[in-house]
Structure 1
Amino acid sequence: MLQTVTTEDDPTDATVTMPVTVRDLLPQDLPACTWSGSATHLRHVERELARAASGEVDYLAVCTPVDLPVAIGGIDYEVAEEAGTLWQLAVLPALQSCGLGTLLVRAAEQRIRHRGLRRAELAVEEDNPRARALYERLGYVAHGRKPEAWDEEGPDGSIRRHETICVLMRKGL
């Protein structure tokens, strides 16, 4: 698949087109994914990759021609009956709004369909309108709200609790 990236900071407004592929995220990819979150987050992703080995989840990576992940995200098959739940979707910040999130979500939906499931679900933080707009463009519909909380590690190693409200969304496949 080809992906177009436009550099807004360059006065010539150059466009670069590069092929990208979608594959399973592997443990050896994690050092290249520090852009996706804190060290605590990456340890959590590593634990989820162990669940992927047992088939409970899929964890995908959108990769450049040199096989570096630039978008990652998981699908949990244990959260909702007869649905795949997308979670921990992230795109390298410098490449956001270039179609990589769309590609990642569509690949996740394809994995869900291949499991014989006909619904995808996700939760998006209320204060993330860009992500919500993407999911709505892709056909996801809000059906509720719920509080979420997790611990985050700061740059100094301190741990702080992050609390938010998420909009629950779903889509028939």
Structure 2
Amino acid sequence: MLRVMTAEADPTAATVVLPVGVRDLSPRDLPACTWSGSATHLRHVERELARAARGEVDYLAVCTPADLPVAIGGVDYRVSEGAGTLWQLAVLPALRSCGLGTLLVRAAEQRIRGRGLRRAELAVEEDNPRARALYERLGYVAYGRAPDAWDEEGPDGSIRRHETMCVLMRRDL
């Protein structure tokens, strides 16, 4: 269930509760996922969906009753021996802190267990303490650091390289 609440001080405030479900992300979902990243990012997600069709990864979507993705993310089974690696986790910004990230991570962990694996891993950027706090609440423990980099498309269509340092985290399932 997705619960969205507005400020109590507002006399027009309301609480909205919607059921959500988790399913495989499909190419037809990509136009509704522009909130998750640039056009370059969505082209990368599209390539990952081809890997999902081959069984190399799972790519999940948390969807509203209208079947619109509000959280997406993948599990790669080829990164680390004996583990599923969660990556590209994203929640629609307006719906963060509503439990969708937790639901997405738990669904990904279920997929990992379904493959007979007993460990989940992920990398979180050091400058993203909010995401790291979520993963720690879910039982993930830091075990190292590693650099990461990718290309990002700017609003003018230019491509720039994004480089960062990540904290590596894992959880036994």
For this structure pair, what is the TM-score category when the shorter chain's length is used for normalisation?
over 0.9
Runs of 4 or more, structure 1, over 6 Å off, are none
Q: 1:6-155 maps to which residues of 2 (within 5 A)?
A: 6-8=5-7, 11-12=10-11, 13-155=13-155
Deviation digits for residues 52-85 of structure 1 (CA, Å, limit 9, x no counterpart): 0000000000000000000000000000001000
User: How far off its partner does 1:37 sit?
Assistant: 0.1
Distance across 1 between alignment mates of 2:2 and 2:29: 21
C-alpha deviation, 1:6, in angstroms:
1.4
The CA deviation string for residues 145-169 of structure 1, in whole angstroms up to 9 with x for no partner, is: 0111110000100001101000000
Using the alignment, how far apart are the partners of 2:139 and 2:106 within structure 1? 11
Q: How many residues align?
A: 172
The one-letter amino acid paired with 1:141 is V
Secondary structure, aligned partner of 2:4: strand
TM-score (norm 1): 0.97
CA RMSD of aligned residues (A): 1.1
How far apart in 2 are the matches of 1:88 and 1:98? Answer: 19
- Please give the per-residue CA displacement for 1:38-61, whole angstroms capped at 9, x wherever unaligned: 000000000000000000000000
1:99-143 residue CA offsets vs partner (Å, 9 max, x unmatched): 000000000000000000000000000000000000000000000
Amino-acid identity (%):
83
Q: Give the counterpart letter for 1:139 in structure 2.
A: G
Unaligned runs of 5+ residues in structure 2 are none
Q: Secondary structure at the match of 1:136?
A: helix
Q: Report the 3-state secondary structure (helix = DSSP H, G, I; strand = E; otherwise coil) of the residue aligned with 1:49.
A: helix
Residues 36/55 of structure 1: CA separation in 2 closer, same or farther (3 Å cut): same
TM-score normalised per structure 2:
0.97
SS in 2 for 1:106: helix
Structure-2 change in CA distance of 1:65 and 1:154 (3 Å): same
Query: What is the one-letter code of the residue matched to 2:134?
Result: L
Partner of 2:3: 4
Residue 78 of structure 2 aligns to a residue whose secondary structure is coil
* Deviation, structure 1 residue 7: 2.5
Say if 1:161 and 1:16 are closer, same or farther in 2 by CA, change over 3 A.
same
